[in-house]
Copies of this chain bind each other. A is one copy, B any other.
Amino acid sequence: MAVYTHLGAEDLARLLAEYHVGELVSAKGIAEGVSNSNWLIETTTGRFILTMYERRIDIRQLPFFLGLLDHLAAHGCAVPATIHDRSGAAFREIDGKSVALIEFLPGVSPTRPTPAQARSVGAALARVHVAAQDFAPERENDLAPRHTAAILERWGEQALADIDPRFPSLIGRARELVSNWPTGLPRSIIHSDLFPDNVLMVGSKVSGMIDFYFAAHDMMAYDLAVTHAAWCFDQSGEKYDASVGNALIEGYDSIRPLDRQERDALPLLAQGACLRFVASRAEDWLDTPAGAQVLRKDPMDFVRRWNFYADQGATAFA
């Protein structure tokens, strides 16, 4: 969470002059995004978020991500629309880096979601899935279980044992998940990372879903499972909140009813969701020296969720 690049007021004013957004009134670098720098910009006509893509995002994929925001916003989803410049471009370059101007949306991210909030998020996610079905551009999900299982395989049992003695056994469990992974469930574009951090709410209403930079084509029920793993537990993954979990599923189902196959697959899909966060956190953990001034997220938080879904998933999604 940082602003990696300094953009002076004069640079910003010059950039904004390329858009139909009025004159610069205020600009604050905001502490959001791990691979972008972001500014909250106020002009004489409104408020906007300016994002500068610093790393990790493949710039060739920006038209996909920004086009998706436009498509979803035009279909009434609670996502920020991309502001296009005077020539119609969705992003520009400044000092060799790509920048995009997007709509500012009000709202705050819940830390301890209520059932009412989870219900709204479920419904909002379903609306995204429905609206994205006629979005033409394609993007493969490079964080599907076969890819994330491979991350664990690459580290190997010995390295993983340094995280926790129970960790090496996950390699076999991941392999099993991949071989049982469902195919043929209904697909659309999925958000893939809809943690509470990426949702803005005013009260119990979703005012915005942000950070679509993992969006890709995949099974819609898998996205619901990711969201379930992200919303329905305490941080450590020790305590499942059934009222939040049930509300999330009900909210989703109220907009896009799940079919029998999808519902039956949820326990497995949720384990695949956990595998993904276990793998990325294990990688960060092993890549980051213990003494570093960076907060390492405990990979065990999602191992606990994985165990929950393996043991009690059938009941949780009944």
Assess whether A12 is in contact with B42, with CB atoms less than 8 Å apart: no
Q: Measured between alpha carbons, how far is A109 from B112 in the docked complex, in Å?
A: 37
B107 pairs with A25, CB closer than 8 A? yes
CB distance from A45 to the nearest CB of B (A): 14
Give Cα distance in the complex from A3 to B1, angstroms. 8
Instruction: Say if the beta carbon of A77 comes within 8 Å of chain B.
Output: no
Shortest distance from the beta carbon of A109 to any chain B beta carbon, whole Å = 6
Q: Is the beta-carbon distance between B8 and A111 smaller than 8 angstroms? A: yes
- Beyond A2-B2, A31-B3, A31-B30, is A25–B202 a contact (Cβ under 8 Å)? yes
- Alpha-carbon distance between A8 and B24 when the two chains are bound, in angstroms: 30
Interface size on A, residues (CB 8 A): 30
A264 contacts partner chain B, Cβ-Cβ < 8 Å: no
Measured CB to CB, the closest approach of chain B to A9, in angstroms, equals 4
Find out whether the CB atom of A9 lies under 8 angstroms from the CB atom of B109: yes
* CB closest residue in chain B, given A114: B10
Known: A2-B2, A8-B112. A32 touches B25 (CB 8 A): no
**Given A8-B112, A10-B112, CB of A107 within 8 Å of CB of B1:** no
Per-residue B-contact encoding for A1-28, CB less than 8 Å = 1, 0 else: 1110000111111000000000011111
A110 vs B109: C-alpha distance when bound (angstroms) = 32
CB closest residue in chain B, given A105:
B26
Interface members, chain A 95-141 (any B CB < 8 Å): 106-112
| A25 and chain B: residue at smallest CB distance | B106
A201 — which chain B residues lie within 8 A by C-beta? 9
Interface of A toward B, CB cutoff 8 Å: 1-3, 8-13, 24-32, 40, 42, 106-112, 200-202
Q: Could you name 14 residue pairs across A and B whose Cβ atoms are closer than 8 Å? A: A2-B31, A3-B31, A8-B110, A8-B112, A9-B109, A9-B111, A10-B112, A13-B108, A25-B106, A25-B202, A26-B200, A29-B30, A29-B31, A30-B40
